[in-house]
Structure formats: C-alpha cells, structure tokens
Amino acid sequence: MSEGAKITSWRELFDRMVELGLGAALLTKESATKLVDELVKKGHVSREESKKLVSEMLDKGRGQKQKMDDFVVEAVERALAKADIARRSQIEELERRLEELEKRSGNQ
C-alpha cells in the first residue's frame, strides 16, 4: 500500500497499524477479543469473521513481537561488541583452558 493510499476498510486500517509495529506486539487475546467485539457490535465484522480476525490479530502480534525481540538482541550484540566486554561464555572458556594448563604444568 502506498503512503498516500486511502484506507477504505477496517481491515486495511488494522493492517496499516500492524505495519507500524509495536501496537500489534502488545496485543493480548483479551484486548483483541474486546476490539473485535466492538467491531461486531458496530456491524463492521460478522460474528463468523470475529474468531478468525482475533486469531489473525494475535498471529500478527506474535510476529511483530518476534521482530522486536530480534531487533533488541541485535542491538545489544552490537553494543556489547562496541564496548569490548567479554561474555560469560568467553570467560568460562578461558577459565577452563587455564585449569587445563595448570593441570598439565602440575604433572610435569
């Protein structure tokens, strides 16, 4: 959908909101159900469509949450790399190697 395109339905509005991100990631089943129930009451969505819509909303929300989680992990990775801080796994590996060297030198 182009930036200047007119939104002509609630579904297009929802899809545009999902494209924007965070809102869908924070969506709970309860809040999605409440929103869809309002759309049903207003006649924008049929009762039959409502369950499918809630499911779609939650699926999109999970996808957005995963994208957000991935972004945060990558940002932290970059920050740690720039800060030149050793990871716990690296320190543990060095400790293991040091113990191994100490054992070897003690046996000679």
Residue 92 in any domain: the answer is no
The answer to whether residue 60 sits within a structural domain is yes
What is the pLDDT, as a whole number, of residue 96? 97
How do residues 51-97 score in pLDDT, each as one tens digit?
888 888 888 878 888 888 898 889 888 888 888 888 899 999 999 99
**Does a structural domain hold residue 103?**
no
Q: Is residue 44 part of a domain?
A: yes
- Model pTM score: 0.51
* Whether the predicted pLDDT of 9 surpasses 70: no
What domain count does the chain have?
A: 1
What is the DSSP code string of 31-96? HHHHHHHHHHHTTSS-HHHHHHHHHHHHHHHHHHHHHHHHHHHHHHHHHHHHHTPPPHHHHHHHHH
Q: Which of 9-13, 32-36, 62-66 has the lowest mean pLDDT?
A: 9-13
For residues 19-23, give the mean pLDDT: 58
The DSSP 8-state label assigned to residue 8 in this structure reads: -
Q: Which domain holds residue 29?
A: 10-83
pLDDT at 2 over 50: no
d(CA 8, CA 68): 28
In the chain, what percentage of residues exceed pLDDT 70? 73
d(CA 12, CA 8): 7
